[in-house]
Amino acid sequence: MAKQHLNITLIQTDIVWEDKTTNLKHYEALIGAISETKHVVVLPEMFSTGFSMAPERLAEPMDGPTVRWMADMAIKHRCILTGSLIISDEGKYHNRMLWVQPDGRIGFYDKRHLFAFAGEDKHYTAGDTRQIVSVNGWRINLQVCYDLRFPVWARNKGTEYDVLLYVANWPQQRSMAWKTLLQARAIENMSYVVGVNRVGSDPKGNIYSGDSSVFGPLGETIWQHNNSAATHTITLDREVLDQARDNFPFLNDADPFILP
């Protein structure tokens, strides 16, 4: 049975380009400063490097130093730590979102939709399987950035999940799409939606306004922050989710889709 409340901490911050050591030290300080009860702490997409197309230089195996750092942080702070990084696995490079638990177990989701506009498809291998994880009885669907533009991939089959979680490096010039699509995913899937994005800029000329957001199951804005760094813990309420689904059983009328 799911617990009544789930705390999710969103970390919206700048990322120093391709500097893992500096970035991990920064996150370590931010995580250590969280005063609220930590259930899930969320870092952005490619949190240790920025959105780099140089996996040949930056990729790590699943037993590499960044994964070990995530495991150490999860154990130290008794929380789940998640975010995506560049992983090398069986000769292929992945934009992989890890779900690192304090008991040492690690789940992962490989980004399905690679951003061809930036050449991501030339450097990385796409995933082909959705990953729905669980914490305290809450089911969370892991997604990465560009996946947001493809609603069938996120479709909630019945009440398969309760939270749709996106991590991103989504540039400011398309922030309207980011905010609009996050809200749309909440409405159409009758679920909480959490989107964690970065701020700052990168050497490719991209500026990031953050706009990390939390939407409720009817599309209501719970929290949103732009243009500056922020570490914010939001408490999701099971009763709000259950009442929305009971009062408005829209998912019962959805078209069937077959997803891997």
Residues with catalytic roles: 45, 111, 145
Close Cβ partners of 81 (under 8 Å, ≥ 6 residues apart)? 31, 40, 41, 43, 70, 73, 74, 98, 100
Whole-number Å distance between alpha carbons of 122 and 139 = 32
Within 10 A of 201 (CB to CB), how many other CB atoms are there? Answer: 16
Q: HSE, CB side, 13 Å, CA atoms: give it for residue 220.
A: 8
Within 10 A of 206 (CB to CB), how many other CB atoms are there? Answer: 17
Does residue 78 contact residue 38 with C-beta atoms inside 8 Å?
Answer: yes
